[in-house]
Amino acid sequence: MKLFNHDTSSKENFANLISSFTNPPFLAIPVFIIINYILLYDGNWLWFSGVSIFFVSILPIITSFVWIKKKNLEADMPRREDRIYPLLLVILSYVMGVLVLYTLGAPQLTTVLMICYLNNTLILLFISLYWKISIHAMGTAGPATALIYFFGWPGLIFSLLVPMVIWSRLHLKRHTSAQLIMGTILGYLLTALQIYLLIGF
């Protein structure tokens, strides 16, 4: 019995670790750094990475943290209704990010990826009014699509995170299979469509 409990606890800890590490604002950090570094290896990559990360990660994390503390919520915000206001603040941060990156002349893919984050979150917000679609799944599949576009087949390596995210969120009982699958499909399809329309393949 002790062995069973230990195994269950280990799985839950591992699932929590994956869930925390693949939180969309955290996951966006290495993605923007990689893209900016390769596109701007002459030195400007650090500046545009900083700007990107501020609007896609730091500001959303700060606003969500303040909201969670104010309302005394779980960090994961398991109730669908609790997500609405934080998502509105995140969308505002993305809007500012798009405007700043475009004004500063950031690389096209960097700006387009920020646009993808904005539009995907708008759609996610609308769905969240009625159904608890997975933010984790959508937030992993979206940047995975950008890296596939950028690197070609080697970009699929990032997609290895997707089944791990699905398993962790299912194991923690944060989502149903349908919510995770739909989040994954929309993350890939919406991001691919926007890249195609704004950049082309």
How many Å apart are CA 59 and CA 67, to the nearest integer? 12
* Average predicted confidence (pLDDT) for the chain: 90
Give pLDDT tens digits for 22-45: 999 999 999 999 999 999 987 789
Answer yes or no: is pLDDT of 179 > 80. Answer: yes
Residue 194's pLDDT is 97
* pLDDT of residue 5 exceeding 60: no
Check pLDDT > 90 for residue 110.
Answer: yes
pLDDT at 176 over 70: yes
Closest CA relative to residue 65, chosen from 50, 79, 77: 77
As a whole number of angstroms, the distance between CA 83 and CA 128 comes to 8
Of residues 194 and 12, more confidence is placed in 194
Q: 191, 181, 131, 138: which is closest to 22 by C-alpha?
A: 138
Whether 70 shows a pLDDT value over 60: the answer reads yes
Q: CA 9: distance to chain centroid?
A: 27
